[in-house]
Amino acid sequence: MRYLTTLLLSLFSFTLFAQCDADFDFGEAEWGASPDANAGEQFDTAYVDVPYADVFHVLVPTDASAIDPMFTLPLDSVLLVGVTLIDTVTLETFALTDVGLDIICNNLESSPNPCTLIAGDQYCASLEGTPTNGGVYQMTLEVEAWVTVFGVGVAQPYLFAGYILDIVGESSGNSTLEEEAELWSVFPNPADESVMVQGLTSNARIQAFDIAGKELPLPINNFSSSNVSINTQGWSNGLYFLVVSTDTGVNTRRILIRH
């Protein structure tokens, strides 16, 4: 269910600024979404003050059991009723519009609310806007899955997390911060036993966080003024964030650990 709802990442959006095409190839799958966080896929990185757009595709099943085996009921539709962003470093809570973005849903005009998705078809949405606030944010969605029970529509609420919105930069016109973000890199990615961070400035501070925002100890194998090798053998499989702080601000890199 969590991957079905990646499409629904804002409160109801009735004004179409742009419309995506629901043309993703899901093959023979009964349901699915792209990007798929379970496969290590995430949203494209965004940059403060730089126009941004990314497209999400979803294939909605006709039976809720395709998503959650506990619910063997016909699925009528899926509806978003709320969204929050949580900064993984500060744990502050934001709305999607607080960072300058919005989700424009395309449900093929199957319902007056464009973010109501009817079962049995494919839909898409465009995440777009010009970001105003940098950070790495968890997206938590409050979703209603409408099923039919004895001929009556019933809404089953769910909360889902696991998708990440990564916005590089902190304030308008901070070209120095964007230049620093381009200089440093992380490899390999996905990683197994270690990752190498290269291109750091001399005053850089590096931190690691898991997807829940918990800071992790950094077992550093080798360190120089610009390169750091980090031991990741003790990290569980999943998504992590390396955060580099300098005098000009903060930027991040996502890394995926696969042992």
- Ordered by start, the domain boundaries in the chain are 4-168, 175-257
What does the pLDDT average to over 44-65? 86
Distances (CA, A) of 235 to 23, 186, 194, 232, 246: 37, 16, 10, 5, 26
pLDDT confidence tier of residue 3, bands split at 50, 70 and 90: very low
Architecture of domain 175-257: Sandwich (2.60)
Lowest-confidence range among 58-62, 137-141, 240-244? 137-141
Q: How high is the pLDDT of residue 135? A: 81
> Of 172, 175, 182, which Cα lies nearest the Cα of 48?
172
For position 36, what pLDDT does the model report? 77
More confident residue, 124 or 211: 124
pLDDT value at 16 more than 60: no
More confident residue, 202 or 182: 202
Burial bucket for residue 164 (CB in 10 Å: 0-12, 13-18, 19+): buried
Phi/psi-derived region of residue 169, left when phi > 0, alpha when psi is between -120 and 50, beta in every other case: left
Mean predicted lDDT score pLDDT of the chain? 78
- State the amino acid at position 138 in one-letter form: Q
Asked whether residue 37 carries a pLDDT value surpassing 60, the answer given is yes
pLDDT tier, 129 (very low <50, low <70, confident <90, very high otherwise): very high
| Tokens, residue 46 | 């965004």
Model confidence at 213: pLDDT above 50: yes
Ramachandran area for residue 141 (φ above 0: left; ψ -120 to 50: alpha; else beta)? beta
Query: Higher model confidence: residue 100 or residue 33?
Result: 100
Whether 4-168 shares its CATH topology with 175-257 is answered: yes
What architecture (CATH level 2) is domain 4-168?
A: Sandwich (2.60)
Work out the average pLDDT over 126-132: 91
- Closest to 204 measured CA to CA, from 174, 228, 171, 188: 228
pTM for this prediction: 0.64
pLDDT (average), residues 54-62: 86
What does the pLDDT read at residue 204? 80
Give buried/exposed letters for 20-42 (b at 16+ CB in 10 A, else e): bebebeeeeeebbbbbebeebeb
Quickly count: other Cβ atoms within 10 Å of residue 167's Cβ: 25
Kind and range of the H or E run holding 178: helix 175-183
